[in-house]
């Protein structure tokens, strides 16, 4: 046996690199031993690798399943050998393919669980203060939006509001980019105000002659309530609460005037 072959087994760097690729320590030792000695019986592999007789057969079976070893029969006795080292590339490629499939499966599981379990049970409330913070609240409100989803809101003011109107005017482009259907319920005074004529035509408004509950946006499982005097908002995530307000809004929408 040459000096280079001795160093192949003595140098622990090879074994460490193989374990980094996903082999166990026993698999790495046996694989390196077979590279060094070539086709051989189990006894020789045990001697060179240092893996015990009781464990070596399981290790060899795993290496065969991983495509890194094989055996042949000589006089009805198994002689094991490593396959060429280039097979390590194929082994890594199979691992990468498996990881990719696992990631795809995990993404689907997370999506399904979020829709069917977590999203329906989780209830939270957050407070947002200041205009910049309210922008974050609206981004969160519409984060899961899809084209054709309905954004419902109540606007209780009789005319343009010094804080609310500039904010909504700036945020309108973002809402349009989402492809949302906007439905708003206002009071009759707003319908007769000069500002009403400035509302984009694709924003569907209906009016009523009774008080509204406040400035409230309802979207999917979220409810955003805003006090424009203090520029403070409360974002509630609750399927139950949002569902109640959706029903409330839709019932008013049916009786409201165009």
Lowest mean pLDDT among 15-24, 43-52, 146-155, 191-200: 15-24
pLDDT 10s digits, 81-124: 888 888 888 888 888 888 888 888 888 877 776 666 544 455 78
* Same domain membership, residue 53 and residue 71: yes
- The verdict on 150 and 227 lying in the same domain is yes
Domain that holds residue 66: 3-85
Query: Is 90 exceeded by the pLDDT of residue 223?
Result: yes
Q: Give mean pLDDT, residues 185-191.
A: 92
Calpha distance 189→172 (Å, rounded): 22
Q: What is the pLDDT of residues 134-183, one digit of tens each?
A: 999 999 999 889 999 999 999 999 999 999 999 998 888 888 888 999 99
* Claim to verify: residue 62 and residue 99 sit in the same structural domain: no
In total, how many domains does the chain have? 3
How many whole angstroms separate alpha carbon 49 and alpha carbon 8?
A: 11
| 227 and 191 part of one domain | yes
Query: Same domain for 69 and 107?
Result: no
Total length of the chain: 258
Q: Do both 73 and 114 map to the same domain?
A: no
The neighbouring-strand residues paired with 252 are none
């Amino acid at each position: 046996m040459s000096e280079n072959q001795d160093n192949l087994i003595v140098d622990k760097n090879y074994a460490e690199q193989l374990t980094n690729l996903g082999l166990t320590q026993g698999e790495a030792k046996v694989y390196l031993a077979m590279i060094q000695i070539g086709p051989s019986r189990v006894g020789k592999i045990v001697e060179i690798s240092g893996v015990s007789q009781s464990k070596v057969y399981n290790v060899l079976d795993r290496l065969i399943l991983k495509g890194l070893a094989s055996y042949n029969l000589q006089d009805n006795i198994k002689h094991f050998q490593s396959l060429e080292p280039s097979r390590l590339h194929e082994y890594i490629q199979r691992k990468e393919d498996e990881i990719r499939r696992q990631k795809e499966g995990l993404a689907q599981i997370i999506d399904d669980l979020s829709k069917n379990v977590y999203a329906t049970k989780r209830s939270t409330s957050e407070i947002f203060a200041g205009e910049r913070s309210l922008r974050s609240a609206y981004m969160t409100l519409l984060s899961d939006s899809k084209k054709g989803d309905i954004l419902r809101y109540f606007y209780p003011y009789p005319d343009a509001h010094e804080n609310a109107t500039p904010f909504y005017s700036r945020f309108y482009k973002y809402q349009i980019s989402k492809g949302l259907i906007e439905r708003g319920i206002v009071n009759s005074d707003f319908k007769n105000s000069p500002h009403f004529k400035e509302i984009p035509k694709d924003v569907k408004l209906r009016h009523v002659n009774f008080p509204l509950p406040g400035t409230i946006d309802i979207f999917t499982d979220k409810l955003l309530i805003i006090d424009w005097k203090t520029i403070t908002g409360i974002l509630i995530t609750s399927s139950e609460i949002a569902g109640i307000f959706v029903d409330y809004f839709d019932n008013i929408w049916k009786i409201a005037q165009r």
